[in-house]
Amino acid sequence: MARKLRSNAEYGNARWATRRALWRALGLTDEDFEKPKIAVVNSSSDLAICYAHLDGIAARMKQAIRAAGAVAFEVRTTAPADFVTSWGHRGGYILSARDLITNDIEAQVEGALLDGMVCLASCDKTPPGQLMAAGRLNIPTLIFCCGYQPSGQHNGHICDIEDVFATAGGLAYGKVSIDEIKAMSDVAIRGPGVCAGMGTANTLHAACEALGMSLPGSTPILANSPRMWDFVEQAGRRIVAMVDEDLKPRDILTREAFENAVMVMLCVSGSINSAKHLSAVAQEAGCDIDLYKLFETYADMIPLLTAVRPNGEATTEAFEAAGGTAGVMKQLERFLKRGAKTITGKTLAENLASVVVADEETIRPVTRPLGTHPTIVMLRGSLSPETSIVKLSVTEQRNLQLRGPAVVFETAMDAIDGIQRGKVSEGQVVVVRGLGPKGTPGMGVASAVVFAVLGAGLAGKVAVVTDGQLSGLTNVGITVAEVAPEAAVGGPIGLVENGDIIAIDVAKRTADLEVSEAELATRRAKISKWSTTDERGWLAIYRDLVEPVAKGRILRR
């Protein structure tokens, strides 16, 4: 009996005939036309080492899919890498490229009416962009996370991209030489894959598995390791079976799945960027859920069970060896929604039944946690009526607070220059605005400002408040990011003036601007134009269509 495949919906007309001609020229047989047609979505690029191995993975994945009785078509998407494609237009192409990935996939996979897809996830924006496409298209989809890069050593100590990133902030203050930075850069990355620490990429790889959209036990994984290649073979077989079973993303991306993902994010002290990305995935999957509220709900419930660099001293290699994401979920099992369905066709409970944690120092049991305070904290208040977000370290206490006068900068570069020139003093609140999704547009990155604060010796002595985003590796003092509403849409952060008192209390989850409503109304009336960007092309489209934080900052339908 012939499979019921949407790729075979037409037969005998002109479109069928011309597609048959094109595919016959590629070497497909008439027998192939009756097989499932699987997209291998390869978000690859020569611009960054995180993608350098994806072409080899795509080739092996196609072989595995063909061996399982289907036809594989490789398709490409844009491939942003934060440390490379953040240079242009104030970093506006970073977050906005996530939505380009989603649309690239839709155009190719939905346009061709393929039957399923394996998405090769690597750097920060590829996992959420691919998950968003999965939710939108709702065809059988498996997210294959392509692994982390090995790091090196410098002066007898581990040296990875996080170390280079953080240390370079001290260059302007004479705390490190250019030769030292070059020496660290030469050894920090020893092979392909994503940044080695628990930054946004590895955090979102873990989220893919926690959601049930990646194979159990497959995150994190050392890129190009024998274990990774074994999972490639498993993934090729499984996606074909998923097409036969008609197992679709919206069967998996339920409220329970997102609750599990949020709990894992809190448990591993993941990147704060996970909140907006998971929110976007939920929106595309048609799951009516407030992800930010979920983080608030579980913040004081979920213990910290691991501390992977830069949160602690554990390496990603040690985390993988201890059990990785599956090991975390095994330890966290009593809290999880164990009945959630996964791409295996089994429940989470069934997937976890045979999991054993190999090292309970690297992945602690819940009876012996590293801490019980949340490291991803949502703040609200008169400065951030919708939300804002703070990342704390594993050892940092949650009772951080600061009340002080604002010193306002309109761009990240102005803020860095001001810090270097001594315009920022202890006890002040550094406000950097105009970095939101509409203001940049595309959402600028404020991490360099945080590292300027660190380099100036002001970490823990000042606070930083911004409507921009941070790198998933940033974790210094009180830094309040993604303040919403942003300045460009009239949010209170756009009304702050030098000297205004801002009060931040992490324990109380508040961020307040101590200015009367009457005064704010007067200031608001004087501003005729919030966004002064003059963009053309993709960033102009993004600025005009991007939705607010509550909708995951996806594009308006």
Kindly write down the DSSP assignment for every residue of 273-323, as one continuous string: HHHHHHHHHHHHTT----HHHHHHHHTTTSPB---BTTSSSB-HHHHHHHT
**188: which 2 tokens?**
């920090």
Task: Please check whether residue 21 lies inside any domain of the structure.
Answer: no
Q: Is the pLDDT of residue 53 over 90?
A: yes
Q: What are phi and psi of 485, to 5 degrees?
A: -65, 150
**396: which 2 tokens?**
């940092």
What pLDDT score was predicted for residue 477?
Answer: 78
- The 3-state DSSP class for residue 388 equals strand
Q: Is the pLDDT of residue 539 over 70?
A: yes
The answer on 308 and 439 residing in a single domain is no
**Segment 471-497, tens digit of pLDDT:** 866 667 799 999 999 999 999 999 999
Between vectors from CA 82 to CA 81 and to CA 86, what angle results, nearest 5°? 110
Task: Please check whether residue 16 lies inside any domain of the structure.
Answer: no
Q: Which of 44, 471, 528, 531 is catalytic?
A: 471
**387: which 2 tokens?**
């939300």
Number of domains in the chain: 3
Burial class (CB in 10 A: 0-12, 13-18, 19+), 183: middle
Residue type, 169: G
Quickly state the pLDDT bin for 433 (edges 50, 70, 90): very high
**Segment 302-352, tens digit of pLDDT:** 999 999 998 999 999 999 999 999 999 999 999 999 999 999 999 999 999
Q: Is the pLDDT of residue 235 over 80?
A: yes
Give the N- to C-terminal CA distance of the chain in Å, as an integer: 39
The answer on 419 and 346 residing in a single domain is no
H or E element, residue 120 = strand 116-121
- The 3-state DSSP class for residue 148 equals strand
The answer on 202 and 329 residing in a single domain is yes
In angstroms, the CA 252 to CA 455 distance is 45
526-535: average pLDDT: 67
What pLDDT score was predicted for residue 1?
Answer: 41
The answer on 532 and 505 residing in a single domain is yes
Using left for φ > 0, alpha for ψ between -120 and 50, and beta otherwise, residue 193 falls in left
- The 3-state DSSP class for residue 378 equals strand
The answer on 422 and 330 residing in a single domain is no
CATH number for the domain spanning 515: value is 3.50.30.80
Q: State the SS3 of 390-443.
A: EECCCCCCCCCEEEEEEEEECCHHHHHHHHHCCCCCCCCEEEECCCCCCCCCCC
Residue after which a domain boundary falls, among 137, 171, 187:
187
Residue type, 64: A
Tokens 């012939």, located at residue = 2
Length of the chain: 557
**178: which 2 tokens?**
């250019």
More confident residue, 446 or 11: 446
**Segment 156-193, tens digit of pLDDT:** 999 999 899 888 878 888 889 999 999 999 999 999 99
Contact 86, 412 (CB under 8 A): no
In angstroms, the CA 21 to CA 33 distance is 11
The answer on 443 and 304 residing in a single domain is no
Least-confidence region, from 54-63, 79-88, 109-118: 79-88
Quickly state the pLDDT bin for 212 (edges 50, 70, 90): very high
110-114: average pLDDT: 97
What pLDDT score was predicted for residue 531?
Answer: 57
The answer on 441 and 396 residing in a single domain is yes
**132: which 2 tokens?**
């968003």
**442: which 2 tokens?**
């595309």
In angstroms, the CA 390 to CA 475 distance is 9
The answer on 322 and 415 residing in a single domain is no
Contact 542, 441 (CB under 8 A): yes
Task: Please check whether residue 118 lies inside any domain of the structure.
Answer: yes
Q: Which domain holds residue 178?
A: 156-187
Q: What residues contact residue 17 under an 8 Å CB cut-off, 6+ apart?
A: none
Q: Is the pLDDT of residue 403 over 80?
A: yes
Q: Is the pLDDT of residue 533 over 80?
A: no
In angstroms, the CA 427 to CA 404 distance is 6
What pLDDT score was predicted for residue 165?
Answer: 85
**51: nearest Cα among 155, 179, 189:** 189
Task: Please check whether residue 27 lies inside any domain of the structure.
Answer: no
H or E element, residue 117 = strand 116-121
Q: State how far Cα 343 lies from the chain centre.
A: 21
What pLDDT score was predicted for residue 168?
Answer: 86
**273: which 2 tokens?**
């960027």
Q: How far is CA 219 from CA 151, 207, 210, 317, 414, in A?
A: 17, 9, 10, 11, 39
Least-confidence region, from 28-42, 122-136, 167-181, 275-289: 167-181
Task: Please check whether residue 60 lies inside any domain of the structure.
Answer: yes
Quickly state the pLDDT bin for 553 (edges 50, 70, 90): confident
Question: Using alpha carbons only, how large is the chain's radius of gyration in Å?
Answer: 24
Q: Is the pLDDT of residue 365 over 50?
A: yes
**482: which 2 tokens?**
């993604």
521-549: average pLDDT: 83
The answer on 308 and 169 residing in a single domain is no
Contact 146, 122 (CB under 8 A): yes
- Beta strand 387-391 with 501-505: parallel, antiparallel or unpaired? unpaired
**Segment 350-361, tens digit of pLDDT:** 999 999 999 999
Mean residue pLDDT of the chain comes to: 94
446-458: average pLDDT: 90
In the annotation, is 86 catalytic?
Answer: no
Q: What are phi and psi of 138, to 5 degrees?
A: 55, 50
The answer on 238 and 178 residing in a single domain is no
41-50: average pLDDT: 95
**290: nearest Cα among 51, 548, 66, 536:** 548
pTM equals 0.96
Instruction: Show the DSSP H helices in 68-138 as ranges.
Output: 82-85, 93-105, 126-137
**Segment 191-205, tens digit of pLDDT:** 999 999 999 999 999
- High-pLDDT (> 90) share of the chain, %: 85
In angstroms, the CA 452 to CA 473 distance is 15
The answer on 424 and 517 residing in a single domain is yes
Instruction: Show the DSSP H helices in 13-53 as ranges.
Output: 14-25
Task: Please check whether residue 125 lies inside any domain of the structure.
Answer: yes
What pLDDT score was predicted for residue 395?
Answer: 76
Least-confidence region, from 276-280, 308-312, 425-429: 308-312
**340: nearest Cα among 215, 243, 248, 254:** 254
The answer on 253 and 177 residing in a single domain is no
Task: Please check whether residue 114 lies inside any domain of the structure.
Answer: yes
